[in-house]
Amino acid sequence: MHLLTLEGMKAEEITVLLDSAQSFLEVLDRPIPKVPALRGKTVAMMFFEPSTRTRLSFDRAAKALSADTLSFSPSGSSISKGESLKDTAKTVLAMGPDLMVVRHKATGAPWRVADWTGIPVVNAGDGAHQHPTQGLLDALAIRQRFGALDGLHIGILGDIRHSRVARSDIDVFTALGAKVTLIAPRTLLPPTLDSWTVETAPDLDGLLEDLDVLYTLRIQQERGAESGFPSVAEYVKRFGVTSDRANRLKPEAVVLHPGPMNRGVEIAASVADGPRSLVTTQVRNGVAVRMAVLFSLLGGEQ
């Protein structure tokens, strides 16, 4: 009915979605990359927070399935005039969409929209909580490279505390059998990791030779005094994915980043554009994963 979180999702369910995404990738390779699977359906894009890639990706996915899309931008809309989330959701609902894609800066907002509207909702990122389609596309990129996630050692590096990507990634990576190590200063880890099936490391250097996958998160420099580290220079010195560090990874190891990247901060340009980088694969997978998700929620009715 919805895709709100990856928490608790079973490996089998994940695999079904990833397999479906893999087959939609083939659709995207066709001369006419479009199928009529969701013709007549309307997908409402409810992005209450700025977004470029996720929004474009959902839009592309919906259109590749021949669905129509409705969208608004938060600035210059009724949102900037103080309309409540509930009223906006009800207003858009009255226009007859079949599904809503919701991004909001507050945790749980997509759940509230699901309660208020009664139609399928896809969480496109809520607060620092979940970003399920990102988790799935990341898992797909890793699976494509290694065949499976089972037994891989994946390091997630950076601002895990404030990252919805990290939470969804941890859920999907561990569900598929990977070992996950969080690499961050204490200030960028969640206050407690009780009940999290992860390990932690206070530094990147001691771990490089052991990782199959290094997942680098964006440093949120706009957080200023609450950024959790004394200066960008100090962060880069201890945690930046530099060429030197990338060279110490296993030969087959890969580097991922959810974007947008701060080149030269959490990741060096030479690494982002280098042979280990799966960044463009991630973006491409994003469209296919979102096709798979939209199809799984809307396609069965036909």
Q: Count of residues for the chain?
A: 302
Bridge partner residues of 179 (DSSP) = 153
Indicate the helix (H) or strand (E) that contains 63. helix 53-64
Q: Which is nearer to other proteins, 29 or 222 (CB)?
A: 222
Q: Which is nearer to other proteins, 41 or 162 (CB)?
A: 162
Bridge partner residues of 265 (DSSP) = none
Could you give the CA distance from residue 236 to residue 279 in angstroms, rounded to a whole number?
20
**Stretch of residues binding other proteins (CB under 8 A), selected from 14-22, 34-42, 80-88, 134-142:** 80-88
Instruction: Identify residues 16-45 at the interface with other proteins (CB under 8 A).
Output: none
- Closest separation in Å from C-beta 54 to other proteins: 17
Could you give the CA distance from residue 263 to residue 284 in angstroms, rounded to a whole number?
20
The count of other CB atoms within 10 Å of the CB of residue 92 is: 20
- Between helix 132-146 and helix 279-298 the angle, nearest 10°, is 120
Q: Which is nearer to other proteins, 193 or 269 (CB)?
A: 193
Single residue of 7, 49, 68, 199 touching other proteins by CB under 8 A = 7
Phi-psi region of 256 (alpha: psi -120 to 50; beta: other; left: phi over 0): beta
Is residue 181 within the footprint of other proteins (CB under 8 A)?
A: no
**Stretch of residues binding other proteins (CB under 8 A), selected from 81-89, 178-186, 228-236, 265-273:** 81-89
Q: Which is nearer to other proteins, 168 or 285 (CB)?
A: 168
Neighbouring residues of 301: CB distance < 8 A, sequence distance ≥ 6? none
- Between helix 53-64 and helix 11-28 the angle, nearest 10°, is 70
Could you give the CA distance from residue 264 to residue 242 in angstroms, rounded to a whole number?
8
Is residue 193 within the footprint of other proteins (CB under 8 A)?
A: yes
Is residue 75 within the footprint of other proteins (CB under 8 A)?
A: no
Q: Specify the amino acid at residue 286.
A: G
The C-alpha angle with vertex 62 and arms to 50 and 70, in degrees rounded to 5, equals 55
Is residue 12 within the footprint of other proteins (CB under 8 A)?
A: no
Bridge partner residues of 71 (DSSP) = 45
The contact mask relative to other proteins for 219-258 (x = CB under 8 A, - = no) is -------x--------------------------------
- Closest separation in Å from C-beta 128 to other proteins: 3
**Stretch of residues binding other proteins (CB under 8 A), selected from 8-16, 64-72, 157-165, 281-289:** 157-165
Q: Which is nearer to other proteins, 12 or 226 (CB)?
A: 226
Is residue 167 within the footprint of other proteins (CB under 8 A)?
A: yes
Q: How far apart are the first and last CA of the chain?
A: 15
Instruction: Identify residues 107-146 at the interface with other proteins (CB under 8 A).
Output: 107-109, 111-112, 127-130
Instruction: Identify residues 83-112 at the interface with other proteins (CB under 8 A).
Output: 84-86, 104, 106-109, 111-112
Can you read off the two tokens belonging to residue 98?
């079949």
Chain positions contacting other proteins, by CB under 8 A: 7, 84-86, 104, 106-109, 111-112, 127-130, 161-164, 167, 190-196, 226
